Structure 1
Amino acid sequence: MHPSDPIRDTDLAAYVDGQLPPERRVAVEAFLSEHPADAARVMADLRLNSELRLALPLPEGGAGLRVSHAARLLQASRLRRRLAPRVGRIAALGLFVAIGWTAHSQFGALGVRESVASVQPPAYVEDAIRAHRTSQLRAGMASQPETRRYDPAEILSATAIRLPKLPADWAVSDVQVFPSTHGPSVEVALKTLGQATVSLYAVRPGGFDVVDASLAPAGEADTAYWQIGEVAYALVSSGVDRDRLGQWAGELSRTLY
């Protein structure tokens, strides 16, 4: 099967079961990023798989009646979702509207929610802060010339990471690819209209999820982060108003839908 072949239900089922080769997984993820209803259905199947694994620990050996029954429940659940696309579209619409607008009452129409202080942000947030520091270090070194050529299509082709559409009045100062646990990551150093310095970091963290834009607890550098499918993003800055940073993150995340 060629990666450019149309995505079918069998591909989505194989994606959920982890049975696709890497190039086909990338094709499915690109498809899901443009089809919210199918993305919501796949996320529900992934969650159900995880719940079954947690609820039905097995001894070494074979399955049993409980597993067979669970498998039938999983198959029936998927069938119901395929027979009710309108319900799926409505659920997906609610999900993706909530992604960008959960904290409307807290920060206004373009705001994001503040992470609960007791909840640690994802590990990639610390990676994003380290990449931000490295970018600042490079900016002050004459022997490390910055790369301002920014080609989102080339980055997507090389890394399977789709970057958000940048505001027209932002300027790219540097673009770098860094290693990460699950493959390459991308860091883009930017200057805003008001000459504020921010870093946009994107990485595949190793899991499928949808996380709406959130502000990490205050620290040495302020960070807003979000995740869409298998790609996570972080916007990092030192000195930018936190509310404003959150608004920018919300705006960037919405360009990915």
Structure 2
Amino acid sequence: MKSVDPIVETDLAAYVDNQLGINRRIEVEAYLSENPQIAAQVMADLSLKGELRLALADQNRAARPQTRDAARRLEGALSRGRLFSTLRRAAAVILLIATGWLANAYVGPFGATSVVASVQPPAFVEEAVRAHQTTLLRETMHSQRETADYDANDIRAATGIVMPAVPKGWRVMDVQIFPSAFGPSVEMAVSPGKGEVLSLFAVRPGNFTVQQALPFASGVTQASYWQIGEVAYALVSDTRKANELNGIAQKLAGSLY
């Protein structure tokens, strides 16, 4: 769908702030789907806005009322426009320090934190974890033949899902199309080496958004999930630490641009 009015910076800011009408929002999403670099910038803005709100919502940290008021004013200033990335990151660091969140939970530039990890993930993440467990079960059954023939173009043509580039040195062990609540999903078992098995799950959840990789834990299973446009992804492992898995997920997401 082509917009009669060109998409400008104020439209992108309003999109991040969820202040667009449905028609204009659809036009902006169509524009983002055709401009991946700008979509990545919007994804960073959405991620930052979410982290700011999580920091402000954390009621377990002690902070003076004046500090919280200043933090809220800073969030309001950020919501009124998309700032340069350096200023935006600097403001976010100041905010996180002010709310007491950074000192105990910060593990890297906008990386996994205890606050982020406690957020309820989208439904597709739970499906990714179940698919991972099914893959591990298949590994133990000699009667279940693995399908290591991997054709990214074939998967895209059949499902509309674009898979990330498999890192050099990784081995594709199995690729399956699984049913899900959202339609066909792709479950890929990959081995980075040393007998380790990771699962890369992809599905079209029925909405358009851009979301940086975020961590999720289910018992001993760790997952890192993200979304680019109409396709959502999750990287799942029983052996990797959350921060390490999230870093790998960010690199996989980067291969899609």
Q: Does the C-alpha gap of structure 1 residues 95 and 173 become closer, same or farther in structure 2, counting only changes over 3 Å?
A: same
SS at match of 2:193: coil
- Structure 2 letter corresponding to 1:95: V
Backbone CA RMSD of aligned residues? 4.0
Q: How far apart are 1:166 and its partner, in Å?
A: 1.1
Report if aligned partners of 2:146, 2:174 keep a CA contact under 8 Å in 1.
yes
Q: Distance in 2 between matches of 1:93 and 1:226?
A: 12
Aligned to 2:21: 49
Q: Is the 8 A contact 2:47 2:211 kept in 1?
A: no
User: Within the alignment, does 1:197 sit opposite 2:197 as a pair?
Assistant: yes
TM-score (norm 1): 0.63
Opposite residue 214 of structure 2, the aligned amino acid is S
| TM-score, structure 2 normalization | 0.63
The answer to whether the 8 Å contact 1:100/1:213 transfers is: no
Query: In the alignment, what sits opposite 1:112?
Result: 111
Q: Give the match's secondary structure for 1:134.
A: helix
- Structure 2 regions of 5+ residues with no counterpart? 52-88, 94-105
Whether the 8 Å CA contact 1:99–1:213 is kept in 2: the answer is no
Q: What is the identity, as a one-letter code, of the residue corresponding to 2:41?
A: G
Matches within 5 A, 1:130-149: 130-149=130-149
**Match of residue 94 from structure 1:** 41
Match of 2:174 in 1: 174
Distance 2:119 2:17 in 1: 26
CA distance in 2, matches of 1:246, 1:89: 21
Partner of 1:63: none
Secondary structure, in 3 states, of the residue corresponding to 2:143? coil
1:92 to 1:236, Cα distance in 2 relative to 1, 3 A: closer
Q: Offset at 1:94?
A: 3.4
Structure 1 residue 211: Cα displacement = 1.1
Look up the match of 2:243: 243
**Displacement of 1:181 after TM fit?**
2.1
For the residues of structure 1 that align with 2:211 and 2:222, how far apart are their CA atoms?
18
Q: Alignment partner of 2:244: what SS?
A: helix
Contact 2:209 2:230 in 1 (8 A): yes
Distance (whole Å) between structure 1 residues aligned to residue 229 and residue 41 of structure 2:
16
Matches within 5 A, 1:5-154: 8-9=2-3, 48-50=20-22, 94-96=41-43, 106-108=106-108, 112-114=111-113, 116-154=116-154
Provide Cα deviations, 1:98-151, integer angstroms capped at 9, x if missing partner. 689999984447x73346254201111110011001111111111111000011
How far apart are the structure 1 equivalents of 2:117 and 2:183? 30
Deviates more, 1:216-225 or 1:180-189: 216-225
CA-to-aligned-CA distance 1:166-221 (integer Å, 9 cap, x gap) = 10111011000011222200000010134421000000111111111000135231
| Equivalences, count | 194
Q: Alpha-carbon deviation of 1:9?
A: 3.6
Q: Decide whether the 8 Å contact of 1:40 with 1:92 is kept in 2.
A: no
Alpha-carbon contact 1:100-1:253 (below 8 Å) kept: no
Corresponding residue for 1:21? none
| C-alpha contact (below 8 Å) 2:40/2:210 kept by paired residues | no
Partner of residue 217, structure 2: 217
Match of 2:63 in 1: none
1:34 paired residue number: none
Is this contact kept in 2: 1:100–1:112, CA < 8 A?
Answer: no
* Cα separation, partners in 2 of 1:40 and 1:174, compared to 1, 3 Å: farther
2:124 is paired with a residue whose SS is helix
1:113–1:40 CA distance, 2 compared to 1 (3 A): farther
What one-letter code is carried by the residue in structure 1 that aligns with 2:164?
P
The CA deviation string for residues 54-76 of structure 1, in whole angstroms up to 9 with x for no partner, is: xxxxxxxxxxxxxxxxx8xx69x
Structure 1: 5+ residue stretches without partners: 1-6, 14-36, 51-70, 83-87
2:43 touches 2:211 (CA, 8 Å); kept in 1?
no
Paired residues of 2:116 and 2:214 also in contact (CA < 8 A): no
Seen in structure 2, the aligned counterparts of structure 1 residues 43 and 241 have a Cα distance that, compared at 3 Å, is same
